[in-house]
Amino acid sequence: MENSDPQQIATSAQPVSAPENAQFSGPPRVIKSKVLAGLLAFYGGWFGAHWYYLERPRPWLLTLLAVVMIGIALQSPVWWDSPALFVVFIPAVAGFIEALVLCLRSDEKFDALYNPGYQRVGHTGWGPVLVAISGLLLGTVLTLFGIAHVILHIWQRLGWLEGLNL
């Protein structure tokens, strides 16, 4: 059976990176995925991986900050106890939060911001929701661990833990 609908013929001529149900206005381009953006924000938010993917302005500033702070922390005898490493913890928590925001944003708002001219026919499904749930679980555990580590570090410096066997 031959298909003569011009819109379906135009849709089938799109690049491989676009879903089959994609409809475009304007030149063909690579479609940004909510799932990939969420995963990059969760795992690479501390150095701005999702900023590169979403083509945000000046993502290299966050990468430079992370590299400099990790370099300073590695100069310490106990690198994981260096205050410079705690500075890297701040964008990591922001990445956890942004992963949730990106994944739970509606398809229409996500596409308007990061895929202009793209009209999604179907919904993204459970992928972004599963990334958000796992990001919330692991992000909460890692954030609480980081806060506890900072508090323990400060209390030791203040001498409040002297006499305790920790």
In tens, the pLDDT along 13-38 reads: 444 455 555 555 555 567 889 999 99
d(CA 62, CA 142): 20
d(CA 127, CA 103): 9
The pLDDT of residue 152 is: 84
The pLDDT of residue 10 is: 42
Cβ neighbors of 43 (< 8 A, separation 6 or more) are 49, 95
Tell me which residue of 149, 163, 99, 154 sits closest to 127, measured CA to CA: 99
What mean pLDDT is predicted for residues 86-110? 89
What mean pLDDT is predicted for residues 99-126? 86
SS (H, E, C) the chain: CCCCCHHHHHHHCCCCCCCCCCEECCCCCCCCCHHHHHHHHHHHCCCCHHHHHCCCCCCHHHHHHHHHHHHHHHCCCCHHHCHHHHHHHHHHHHHHHHHHHHHHCCHHHHHHHHCCCEECCCCCCCHHHHHHHHHHHHHHHHHHHHHHHHHHHHHHHHCCCCCCCC
The pLDDT of residue 50 is: 93
d(CA 79, CA 150): 14
d(CA 86, CA 150): 8
| pLDDT tens string 43-92 | 999 899 999 999 999 999 989 999 999 999 889 887 777 788 888 888 88
Average pLDDT of every residue of the chain? 80
Given a cut of 70, is residue 8 above it in pLDDT?
no
